[in-house]
Structure 1
Amino acid sequence: MDPLAEVVTLLQPTARFSKNIVGAGAWQIRRSDAGQPFYCAVLEGGCRLTLDGHAPIVLQAGDFLLVPAVFGVAMSSLELPAGAADSMPVALGPGRFRIGAQEGPTDLRILAGHCSFGSPDAALLVSLLPQVVHVRGEPRLATLVQWVGQESIEQRPARELVLARLLEVLLIEALRSTTGTAASPGLARGLADARLAVAIRAMHEQPTRAWTVAQLAREAALSRSTFFERFQRAVGLAPMAYLLAWRMALAKDLLRRDDGSIADIAERVGYSSASTFSVAFTRHVGRPPTHYAREQAGFQRVGA
């Protein structure tokens, strides 16, 4: 499987809500979210968006923004008087809101929403993705967001299954649309580099191989030092740190699904013995794999 598809599948995205928002005049809104994935598609007009720790971003019609984990977000009209008070969105109907001037024609239409990641390992997997994905001029993304919004409102048969598949496609489409050095470090930016992509795919295809930086550099047809610096700059992790993160993500998934003994799982994620795997897993996760497996089995029984 493609590395991006693997990460998104393991994340288990589900829809929480989607809003169709129209605006007019001057307005600004702020909110804090405890690490929730946030997306926004601008269908008409433009607005300014500021995320914690990032410079303001001007969004225009046709833009799509995805933040895999957001903690604070502020949005405003492009023109905003100094000292303007925060605005309160007014509900127009199910999933529909208006901000700013409540009378007259509107000059903005956006679709914004949150999804959640069902994987208990979401934090690790999100760390492999860019912090911010900003795509311009990809109408397919806006269409996908509209479908997500419609499906989340309508109580149709197989709603949850359709939403899960739509969100997987939405995330993959957004991530693979991000190319070049303008993207924040993460898996998508690494895959956009043809040389690094060869090494990343090799790690995903052969997680059991005893990779070294030198071997991965040869896969990428780069010198060891060039590969190491280029990988860390693009992905945001050193090559061996990425490989460890990926092996641990695979191991957690296998343990959650009770898919084999500890020794079997150790071998399937690249460790020569169960004891070596247990030490690495405990150091990375904070508890031994046997404890983690029992914990996940308990969660599943409670949720059943």
Structure 2
Amino acid sequence: MADPLSDVISLLRPQAPFSKLAEASGPFRVRREDMDAVFYCLLLGGRICLEVDGKPPLMLNAGDFVLIPNVSAFTIESVDPPPPPGLRSIPVPGEDGIFRLGPNTGPAEVQQLVGHCHFGSPDAALLTSLLPDMVVVGGDDRLAALATLLRDEARANRPARDVIVEHLLQVLLIEAFRATPPSGAASGLLRGLADPRIGPVLRAMHAAPHRGWTVPSLAIEAGLSRSALFTRFVRVVGEPPISYLLTWRMTLAKKMLRSGQHGVADVSNKIGYGSVSAFSTAFTRHVGASPTGYMRMTAAE
């Protein structure tokens, strides 16, 4: 059985992580406005308030993990004591590699592992649109263990470091997403996979993207009428089923064309188009370039 979540995470190709341990005492406030990468934070001790622009403040307690695939600006600040208005703290690296916030005296009241990574896929914006805009998991030991392994491997200079880090990131992302309660997931892939009717439809499309899927055939997979499937799929996933299928097919087509190992006819057949001309028309409309033109463009990059 296909695993759509693993499919998406694998195609995203998470890369180039940065992580650091940060300790704090007293009042502090850190503001970041230059983030264009996935941000994650594992709170190891104490309490903090995380406020992502456009969202309500989020209180994090020891053991909580938060991951934000798309973030442009956010603030992290102390809870007890709260920071005074206008305070802006700058993390100061210590000789031990741990960053310090607030007064550098006395024991740390807050400990956190924070980091970010980039997605190497040219289709990252498209793929992340299928994922929730924020994941919050409370006190998950598996995530804590993975985050620690990731931190240690990223700091080490051992053979195959980059390969191991990339795989650890993939596992970390999958664990974070699948640990999200279905009731807390916004419309998208996670909520769809958790739905007893829509989940089988998504898995069927990912398992056989080459099949000539229609709303009636997908309705059979769901055990619903055509109209009920359409309405429920849009509500749960956020777009119609055939629109999702087209997006996934074109993502796969772009990956195969970029690899240089598949001809246009082969790609057309693998993603379910009866003719090369039909595939070329659909690809050009979706991507803005013909399959051969796309191959030339990506080969020159």
Other-structure match for 1:217 = 219
Normalization by structure 2: what TM-score?
Answer: 0.94
Other-structure match for 2:152 = 150
Secondary structure in 1 aligned to 2:130?
Answer: coil
Secondary structure in 1 aligned to 2:71?
Answer: strand
- 2:35 and 2:71 in contact (8 A); partners too: yes
Q: CA deviation at 1:104?
A: 1.1
CA distance in 2, matches of 1:228, 1:52: 33
Change (3 A) 1:281 1:93: farther
1:39 and 2:24 equivalent?
Answer: no
Change (3 A) 1:213 1:181: farther
1:297 and 2:294 equivalent?
Answer: no
Other-structure match for 2:206 = 204
- 1:63 and 1:136 in contact (8 A); partners too: yes
Secondary structure in 1 aligned to 2:166?
Answer: helix
User: Counterparts of 1:167-182 in structure 2 under 5 Å?
Assistant: 167-182=169-184
CA distance in 1, matches of 2:240, 2:56: 26
Change (3 A) 1:228 1:25: farther
The one-letter amino acid paired with 1:185 is S
Q: Unmatched 5+ residue regions in structure 1?
A: 300-304
Percent identity over the alignment? 49
Q: CA deviation at 1:112?
A: 0.9
CA distance in 2, matches of 1:179, 1:192: 9
The one-letter amino acid paired with 2:286 is H
Other-structure match for 1:60 = 61
- Computed over aligned residues only, the root mean square deviation of the Cα atoms, in angstroms, reads 1.7
CA distance in 2, matches of 1:34, 1:86: 17
User: Counterparts of 1:134-283 in structure 2 under 5 Å?
Assistant: 134-283=136-285
Q: CA deviation at 1:269?
A: 1.0
The one-letter amino acid paired with 2:178 is R
Q: Unmatched 5+ residue regions in structure 2?
A: none
Q: CA deviation at 1:95?
A: 4.7
Change (3 A) 1:293 1:34: farther
CA distance in 2, matches of 1:113, 1:27: 19
Q: CA deviation at 1:278?
A: 1.6
Normalization by structure 1: what TM-score?
Answer: 0.93
The one-letter amino acid paired with 1:155 is N
Change (3 A) 1:195 1:106: same
Q: CA deviation at 1:252?
A: 0.8
Q: CA deviation at 1:81?
A: 4.1
Change (3 A) 1:296 1:94: farther
CA distance in 2, matches of 1:129, 1:292: 26
Q: Which moved more, 1:13-22 or 1:91-100?
A: 91-100
Q: CA deviation at 1:34?
A: 5.0
Other-structure match for 1:73 = 74
- 2:77 and 2:83 in contact (8 A); partners too: no
CA distance in 2, matches of 1:193, 1:149: 34
The one-letter amino acid paired with 2:18 is F
Change (3 A) 1:281 1:144: same
Higher strand share: 1
- 2:182 and 2:190 in contact (8 A); partners too: no
Q: CA deviation at 1:114?
A: 0.8
**Number of aligned residue pairs:** 299
Other-structure match for 1:302 = none
Secondary structure in 2 aligned to 1:181?
Answer: helix
Other-structure match for 2:108 = 106
CA distance in 2, matches of 1:94, 1:248: 48
